Chains A and B, each alone.
Chain A
């Protein structure tokens, strides 16, 4: 797999979920009645972009919950994509799955459709925590799903986990991590619980139903996670992402951070190519309506100025282990002094002409770019 390729990635958004998780702010709807329409519209959108992208070397079917699609829909979706676009033979093909959807039959189906990577939404391996997160599965269900995927021959399974739940202490979190590590996953995404505006969790927090962790507690958990997984050989290649080996770093997601082009299909999907960003309407019905009436489902777009592009490079670069090329700072006032100070305070290190964030640096990744303005 060409890990540093500049070939674009393809994302397909499946905007359906069995139920809405109270922390999630991605776009999805629960009724499945619009599924048929959406599939038809997606085919329409695929043809809109036909021949605009020569070849993709990653495909990521995300959502929402792609795994809840029935066999037939899933088959025609994947086949439709492969039919509509050139996907390189060694492409990384990821499918997001919920543990409660994984059955031996489905696992075999995924493989037969060309899926070679699974991102499994485990979130926790503690039933109480899963209850708090209002997940539809239990810890043992998640473990069965992992075993099932491995039996089906998937060697590249990523486990998604959430930590920093109200009242969670390090030993609780390490228990979940330990149980996940028993499966020797190729990839781990460990997200600190983020309470986004407009989500049910935000309302609950505001009403005092629970109190989020203190900043220092979250910080300690983040650093403990980084250390714990580093000790077990995992590569901390992005703020929240860990890979067992280099080849298991998520090829598709890295395109977002490296500003490699990508095309996003489906409601609310974002795209980036030729210095331009655009995004689709955040509504299944509007998305379908636009496409059926022969219109573009694009809701907005922006052409990036050079300043905007370089701000993005900084913001994204500080999120990844590869960091940033020192030449990017050449024309910034006082950059040398600031970088030296950051090195001294252990937030970044300098290696081979690159500025690399440390785990402590990851913790302040959002404010590092602003230092250079």
Chain B
């Protein structure tokens, strides 16, 4: 166990986390120069595109230090978004230390600090690394100073490297050996292993990633999930090296995988403790919690014939994403579909894009909603995450919406802009702390509904990328809620309805009408778009009629070109939904609440 080091790399976005990981992997000789491609651990196209890590990835790297001792390094890569903060916390709980990366030209940034806090919460050893020292704009001394003053770490001890150029990599590896403590734990104690990720393999079922804290396990063992008591027989254990590599057993201190005939990823829970059925641990590892959907949206196939295809795709997708929940749903405007629950808006976008790209689905996604609670005259409380099921307003005696406590970390200079944004979004009870000079941490309570749509994007915009956000659900609070309906040419489109706070209803109504005006193409006739509460129209916009669309010349016999153009338009029309006699483009449904500047 003394030869094992479990660590993660944490950094502000673009400070070179993936590049450093790539470099460490390359140094360990796990890939040849030819096989090497950037961001090895980010396997999904989406991750490469967005430059973020969506799923945790793990890799075991062999290392021989300067004294000739051999080590086993487990690098646990973590997702980088507030939607997945629980996943991050589970991954960090599996480590003893972190490399905290600071860009030599940009210095300490918002996320650097937020990440440091998270590492400190888990009592991890932190090794500061100053990256990108090769850049002409690099200011190593300033970075050291900031590490001292802003992070409270030893700036002089920071390791200098350029992951891009491969400089200083040896120093980083040596520091891991020297400064990160080997895992503690007892091999002869009852098994306790923490699940921090799970992936679906079409041939083997679910592959669970875990960190063993105590005890050991091997193929043939009966394991038990402590959250639900489910028992499985271990078929295979091993470690991750780019590919899976089988091992006879996994013991305390090690990070690896278990295959044990678990059918879907949803049968496992992030943060759960695995123990042996025959000799269980007295208590689960701390920190487990059920992952709950907080954002809900419906999806409908564009053509109703494609319903079954969409159902099949969801089922397959779900195999690999335990966080997604879904059930059947029906809309009078859009027909049969599914109501889905997500961890947050990024999760929603990821599911949407993956269903489209990897499963070839074309569908409409409605405006996301949170879960509201209504108290009715007869004393019943109903939970509503779909505006369609908003109760009859005369029966409602009380309504409540979920609140979060948001922690926002920003450089002081953005204070005004961020507070404006928070107040606009009904933020309250704000508290300020000054973790280091020049920085403010704002802690405040906000309705979740105000955060899910585009708050994070807005925060990034007003702070020029320096703001970071983390939040926890706290409770439900009384809130004056109304249902905002959208009428297109006088017809109510149920899939466009929203539940909103009464004071914000007009604003949302105006925004939705303006946005739809931009999204709905011109037709042969004028289209009126209206926002209404009950029977009262509160906002409206008009899509002018199409009045001229004809090519002056159509002779010379080239009809082919003309027809091909029409065929292309016909295809585009397939991505629109007919509501009454109006064609509404697929993206209009979810775009309703997005800001105009996107």
A341 CB–B CB distance under 8 Å: yes
Q: Which residue of A lies closest to B578 (CB)?
A: A334
With known contacts A192-B552, A342-B524, A371-B524, A364–B546 Cβ distance under 8 A: yes
Contacts of B525 in A (CB 8 A): 341, 345
Contacts of A215 in B (CB 8 A): 547-548
A365 CB–B CB distance under 8 Å: yes
A308 near B548 (CB under 8 angstroms)?
A: no
With known contacts A363-B547, A364-B550, A311–B563 Cβ distance under 8 A: yes
B554 CB–A CB distance under 8 Å: yes
Contacts of B137 in A (CB 8 A): none
| A44→B154 CA distance, assembly (Å) | 88
Contact with A along B287-310 (1 / 0, CB 8 A): 000000000000000000000000
Taking a contact as CB atoms closer than 8 A, the residue among A257, A368, A370 that contacts B554 in the complex is A257
Contacts of B557 in A (CB 8 A): 11, 256, 262, 264, 269-272
A363 near B550 (CB under 8 angstroms)?
A: yes
Contact with B along A30-46 (1 / 0, CB 8 A): 00000000000000000
Taking a contact as CB atoms closer than 8 A, the residue among A194, A216, A316 that contacts B559 in the complex is A316
B555 near A256 (CB under 8 angstroms)?
A: yes
With known contacts A311-B567, A369-B566, A256–B559 Cβ distance under 8 A: yes
| A222→B546 CA distance, assembly (Å) | 15
CB distance from A204 to the nearest CB of B (A): 19
B562 CB–A CB distance under 8 Å: yes
A367 CB–B CB distance under 8 Å: yes
Q: Which residue of B lies closest to A163 (CB)?
A: B552
Main secondary structure of the interface of B (DSSP, over half): loop
With known contacts A194-B553, A364-B547, A364-B550, A370–B573 Cβ distance under 8 A: yes
| A26→B525 CA distance, assembly (Å) | 34
A1 CB–B CB distance under 8 Å: no
B552-574 contacts to A, CB under 8 A, are 552-560, 562-563, 566-567, 569-570, 573
Taking a contact as CB atoms closer than 8 A, the residue among A216, A311, A366 that contacts B549 in the complex is A366
Q: Which residue of A lies closest to B553 (CB)?
A: A191
CB distance from B548 to the nearest CB of A (A): 5
A218 near B548 (CB under 8 angstroms)?
A: yes
Contacts of A312 in B (CB 8 A): 559, 563
With known contacts A270-B560, A364-B524, A370-B569, A256–B553 Cβ distance under 8 A: no
A219 CB–B CB distance under 8 Å: yes
| A193→B562 CA distance, assembly (Å) | 18
Taking a contact as CB atoms closer than 8 A, the residue among A279, A338, A341 that contacts B558 in the complex is A279
With known contacts A239-B550, A371-B524, A277–B570 Cβ distance under 8 A: no
**How extensive is the interface on chain A, given as a class?**
35 or more
Main secondary structure of the interface of A (DSSP, over half): mixed
B595 CB–A CB distance under 8 Å: no
Residue of B546, B550, B555, B569 with highest tally of chain A CB at under 10 A = B550
B548 near A222 (CB under 8 angstroms)?
A: yes
With known contacts A319-B554, A363-B548, A364-B524, A370–B570 Cβ distance under 8 A: yes
| A316→B557 CA distance, assembly (Å) | 11
A253 CB–B CB distance under 8 Å: yes
Contacts of A319 in B (CB 8 A): 550, 554
B581 CB–A CB distance under 8 Å: yes
A62 near B549 (CB under 8 angstroms)?
A: no
Q: Which residue of B lies closest to A301 (CB)?
A: B560
CB distance from A19 to the nearest CB of B (A): 20
| A308→B573 CA distance, assembly (Å) | 16
B550 near A362 (CB under 8 angstroms)?
A: yes
With known contacts A239-B552, A363-B550, A367-B549, A270–B559 Cβ distance under 8 A: yes
CB distance from A239 to the nearest CB of B (A): 6
A315 CB–B CB distance under 8 Å: yes
Q: Which residue of A lies closest to B558 (CB)?
A: A270
B551 CB–A CB distance under 8 Å: yes
Contacts of B551 in A (CB 8 A): 194, 366
B318-375 contacts to A, CB under 8 A, are none
Contacts of B567 in A (CB 8 A): 308, 311
| A65→B23 CA distance, assembly (Å) | 67
A337 CB–B CB distance under 8 Å: yes
Contacts of B547 in A (CB 8 A): 215-216, 219, 363-364
Contacts of B555 in A (CB 8 A): 253, 256
A355 CB–B CB distance under 8 Å: no
CB distance from B558 to the nearest CB of A (A): 5
Contact with B along A328-371 (1 / 0, CB 8 A): 00000010011001100101000000000000001111111111
A70 CB–B CB distance under 8 Å: no
Taking a contact as CB atoms closer than 8 A, the residue among A240, A256, A345, A367 that contacts B552 in the complex is A240
Contact with B along A288-321 (1 / 0, CB 8 A): 0000000000000010000010011001100100
Contacts of B552 in A (CB 8 A): 191-194, 239-240
Contacts of B556 in A (CB 8 A): 11, 26, 62, 256, 270
| A193→B552 CA distance, assembly (Å) | 8
CB distance from B187 to the nearest CB of A (A): 69
| A315→B563 CA distance, assembly (Å) | 8
Contacts of B545 in A (CB 8 A): 345
CB distance from B519 to the nearest CB of A (A): 18
Taking a contact as CB atoms closer than 8 A, the residue among B546, B554, B570 that contacts A256 in the complex is B554
Residue of B546, B551, B562, B581 with highest tally of chain A CB at under 10 A = B551
| A347→B549 CA distance, assembly (Å) | 13
Q: Which residue of A lies closest to B521 (CB)?
A: A367
Contacts of B569 in A (CB 8 A): 370
CB distance from B502 to the nearest CB of A (A): 38
Contacts of A368 in B (CB 8 A): 524
B549 near A363 (CB under 8 angstroms)?
A: yes
Contact with B along A248-283 (1 / 0, CB 8 A): 000001001100001010000111100001010000
CB distance from A286 to the nearest CB of B (A): 18
Q: Which residue of B lies closest to A270 (CB)?
A: B557
| A62→B546 CA distance, assembly (Å) | 34
| A119→B487 CA distance, assembly (Å) | 53
| A270→B563 CA distance, assembly (Å) | 14
CB distance from A141 to the nearest CB of B (A): 24
Contacts of A367 in B (CB 8 A): 524, 546, 549
Contacts of B570 in A (CB 8 A): 311, 370, 373
Contacts of A363 in B (CB 8 A): 547-550
Taking a contact as CB atoms closer than 8 A, the residue among A219, A277, A337, A347 that contacts B560 in the complex is A277
Contacts of A365 in B (CB 8 A): 549-550
Q: Which residue of B lies closest to A319 (CB)?
A: B554
A315 near B566 (CB under 8 angstroms)?
A: yes
Q: Which residue of B lies closest to A11 (CB)?
A: B557
A272 near B559 (CB under 8 angstroms)?
A: yes
CB distance from B560 to the nearest CB of A (A): 5
Q: Which residue of B lies closest to A217 (CB)?
A: B548
Q: Which residue of A lies closest to B574 (CB)?
A: A373
CB distance from B559 to the nearest CB of A (A): 6
Q: Which residue of A lies closest to B555 (CB)?
A: A253
Q: Which residue of B lies closest to A338 (CB)?
A: B581
A347 near B553 (CB under 8 angstroms)?
A: no
Q: Which residue of B lies closest to A24 (CB)?
A: B553
Contacts of B581 in A (CB 8 A): 334, 337-338, 341
Sample (18) of A-B pairs whose CB atoms are under 8 Å apart = A26-B556, A62-B556, A192-B552, A216-B547, A239-B550, A257-B554, A262-B557, A277-B559, A312-B563, A316-B559, A334-B581, A342-B524, A347-B524, A367-B549, A368-B524, A370-B569, A371-B524, A373-B570
Closest 8 CB pairs of A and B: A270-B557, A191-B552, A365-B550, A192-B552, A219-B548, A367-B549, A366-B549, A363-B548
Q: A270-B557, A270-B558, A365-B550 provided; 16 other pairs, C-beta below 8 A?
A: A194-B553, A219-B547, A239-B554, A240-B552, A256-B555, A270-B556, A272-B559, A319-B550, A341-B524, A345-B525, A364-B524, A364-B548, A365-B549, A366-B550, A367-B546, A370-B566
